[in-house]
Chain A
């Protein structure tokens, strides 16, 4: 039984972030990989869309410059033939402030011949922003 592409990708991704060793990850990215982490790009410049291996490696370097991953727990996971989706709880440290950050993310990945061709990541971004600024953002009490 062959290992699903997600597991190799996941190991390589965390190695690239925590150990700043992107070589394994680079080998698992399609040349034209489409990559998107949805969220406010002026607060987190590594959010947004990227295309191509070099752009993705650059964004991983930016994430590694800002965060260290301490722990992640997969709360739900689905593996398709050439696709995968999972919901994870991440415990991170923001390196500039040494602040702990806990966030839940969802990712959807597509692979071709073992290489990542498309990744979309959704984050509970309001929660992330509040943790980053360090105070609750007061919203009007209204139903819209």
Chain B
């Protein structure tokens, strides 16, 4: 696999995942795909460490169920050999109240035979938590007047 084709594989994967097509995303992963993202599990119990397609399906379907609309932008993507890193700006619309959540993910991918075998994500989790709870936690911690979220 060339770096160019791996770049396209990652873009295709992100396009189907963030259009909500979980099965198409899983088709682009190896059977033993592994996922790790640090996040507060009280609020995001579906995140953390996942291994294999069944666990990935469960996680992505949990996300899919909570949001009526998903899309992403990928302003930066770096590839080298069998690895790729994407800066992903994600837009989710909450099913419960139609409010939009927008946050950034650094996604690091390892590919095997054109399929994704390993995903590691770093997320601006504080911003994500504030948007999910619709609370200005920074204001609570610093004693400043809260901003509207």
Q: Which residues of A contact B (CB under 8 A)?
A: 38-40, 42-43, 76-80, 83-87, 104-106, 108, 110, 118, 120, 122-129, 133, 137-144
Which bracket fits the contact residues of B? Answer: 35 or more
B118-138 residues with Cβ-Cβ distance < 8 A to A are: 120, 122-129, 132-133, 137-138
- Closest-by-CB residue of A relative to B139 is A42
- Of the candidate stretches B14-22, B23-31, B34-42, B50-58, the one touching chain A is B34-42
Of B46, B108, B127, B144, the contact of A125 (CB 8 Å cutoff): B127
Q: Could you tell me the distance in whole angstroms from the C-beta of B46 to the nearest C-beta in chain A?
A: 7
Of A124, A127, A129, the contact of B141 (CB 8 Å cutoff): A129
Of B62, B80, B129, the contact of A143 (CB 8 Å cutoff): B62
Add 10 more A-B contacts to A83-B76, A122-B122 (CB < 8 A): A40-B126, A78-B85, A80-B78, A85-B108, A122-B87, A137-B141, A139-B129, A139-B133, A143-B43, A144-B96
Q: Could you tell me the distance in whole angstroms from the C-beta of B89 to the nearest C-beta in chain A?
A: 10
Q: Which residues of B contact A (CB under 8 A)?
A: 38-40, 42-46, 62, 66, 76, 78-80, 83-85, 87, 94, 96, 104-106, 108, 120, 122-129, 132-133, 137-139, 141-142, 144
With A124-B125, A127-B38 given, is the CB distance from A110 to B76 under 8 Å? yes
Q: Could you tell me the distance in whole angstroms from the C-beta of B94 to the nearest C-beta in chain A?
A: 8
With A76-B85, A106-B85, A144-B133 given, is the CB distance from A139 to B122 under 8 Å? no
Greatest chain B CB density within 10 A among A39, A87, A139 is at A139
- Which residues of A are found within 8 Å of B85, using beta-carbon distances? 76, 78, 85-87, 106, 108
> In the complex, are the beta carbons of A108 and B122 less than 8 A apart?
no
Q: Could you tell me the distance in whole angstroms from the C-beta of A16 to the nearest C-beta in chain B?
A: 23
Q: Could you tell me the distance in whole angstroms from the C-beta of B111 to the nearest C-beta in chain A?
A: 12
